[in-house]
Chains A and B, each alone.
Chain A
């Protein structure tokens, strides 16, 4: 295994190990995701089929919120224990660390949320095509969110009001993902295969894979002074 893959692999598996040692943390984003979903039917008029007709958009919004919130913990422990500084001083390529961190975050939040969306959408009577498109768009969109969010997370780590600040900074950036992700699912429910939207999400993923780790590396350097 070459050094690039090894650095990413080490960082990601370290992220996973940290969470698996305290497994309850694994469920926080998922429970939050389901909770937000549960709140919607209470807030909208109890018209039959109304919630089902907006379900894909609501699923996307809930996923967006859950992922944004879970970004806060990405660098927190490493920053407060000084591990981040050690990583920085070790001379490791921070860009690769950024990719590894984002990948770890995605495996722990985006991936399970996208998978959980499948049974939830099924229970909400979404059609099979809609379900597949929803899960695909969530997988792609959440990977982009992890990559872009990692840079903002590194930038706001250890600050007062970090959680609010993080969500405030990330949500405007996630608007395009929300637009294309939820409209992909909406189009699929009309029976149209939403190729354009999925391609757009794929394009955003590639773009953020190219640029975001660089920003993450720079953000770590700035925050460590």
Chain B
């Protein structure tokens, strides 16, 4: 285990591993995305109450899922960064944060677009919406802290600590917001009107979530490679890589 960790946590090895990983992930991503789009737009039947507009769920739910999944990834990376001081996990942390913020934002915006015809308003102080909004602010905080500290490694370690502080607080925030919102208003329309969902609607949703997750992984790997190049910019292999790329472009 530790040997494997050492082998792949070395920046150079991971760089080339990530190139291969990206290649393997691309085809499943494209297939899943194409199927999910067809499934979401044509196969899935209209909702008996919401008509066509429920289909925004196929962007909304995967985004909301990713907004939490990315945070979980960041918590894992933060633990590795703080305890074992693994450079790679610092890069992963930095790569993940803006992606998490983007998906959280996307979840909020799509929810809001869906809410306008359904609830008649762009915004409701509903528990899930509010805690998602606070999650967005936590992402913003982490990104801001990254930019405020100049030393890259110190910034990463500070953000790792902040990520863990956030991780302890996110469940508390989530449940207290839920408690607050049930106290303030009666039953709001919950996201999936009925507790059960038609199988033709569900399968595209699952596939779309997988496609989104694969997209996140691919995008994250690109950002990780950029991060590795920045961290190791004075090493021979990065210089060689850059030179050979320039050479290719020149020819």
Show the binding face of A for B, using Cβ within 8 Å: 148, 151-152, 155-156, 159-162, 165, 168-169, 171-173, 175-176, 179-180, 183, 200, 204, 211, 215, 218-219, 222-223, 225
Given contact pairs A173-B165, A218-B82, A223 touches B158 in the complex (Cβ within 8 A): yes
Taking CB atoms, residues of chain A closer than 8 Å to B158 are 155, 219, 222-223
Q: How far is the CB of A106 from chain B (nearest CB, A)?
A: 19
Which residues of chain B have C-beta atoms less than 8 A from A215's C-beta? 161, 164-165
Q: A211-B168, A225-B151 are in contact. Are A218 and B176 (CB under 8 A)?
A: no
Do the beta carbons of A222 and B148 come within 8 Å of each other? no
> What chain B residues lie within 8 Å of A160 (beta carbons)?
148
Chain B residue nearest to A203 in the complex (CB): B172
Q: Which of B138, B165, B166, B176 contacts A180 (CB 8 A)?
A: B176
Tell me whether B210 is interfacial, beta carbon within 8 Å.
Answer: no
Measured CA separation A211–B141 after assembly (Å): 20
Give the one of B134, B145, B165, B168 with max A CB within 10 A.
Answer: B165
- Binary CB contact string for chain B from 175 to 186 against chain A (1 if under 8 A, 0 otherwise): 011011001000
Query: Is B79 part of the binding interface, using a Cβ–Cβ cutoff of 8 Å?
Result: no
Q: Report the minimum CB–CB distance from A19 to chain B (whole Å).
A: 26
Residues of B within 8 A of A155 (CB): 145, 158, 161-162
B162 contacts across to A, CB distance below 8 A: 152, 155, 169
Check B176 against A223 for contact (C-beta < 8 Å).
no
The total number of A-B Cβ pairs within 8 Å is: 73
Sampled A-B contacts (11; CB under 8 Å): A155-B158, A159-B148, A168-B144, A172-B141, A176-B172, A176-B173, A176-B176, A179-B177, A211-B168, A219-B161, A222-B161
Q: Quick check: A179 and B161 within 8 Å, CB to CB?
A: no
4 additional contacts, CB 8 Å, given A162-B148, A168-B137?
Answer: A151-B161, A152-B162, A222-B158, A223-B154
For the complex of A and B, the 6 pairs showing the least CB-CB separation, nearest first, are: A176-B176, A169-B141, A159-B148, A179-B180, A172-B137, A222-B157
The number of residues on chain B lying at the interface, defined by a beta carbon within 8 Å of a beta carbon of chain A, is: 28
Chain B residues whose C-beta falls within 8 Å of the C-beta of A204 in the assembled complex: 172
Asked if B169 is at the interface of the complex by the 8 Å CB criterion, the answer is: yes
Q: Which residues of A contact B34 (CB under 8 A)?
A: none
The CA-CA distance from A204 to B149 in the complex, in Å, is 30
What chain B residues lie within 8 Å of A179 (beta carbons)?
176-177, 179-180
**B residues 85-126 with Cβ under 8 Å of A?**
none
Residues A173 and B169 in contact in the complex (CB < 8 Å), given A165-B145, A179-B180, A222-B161: yes
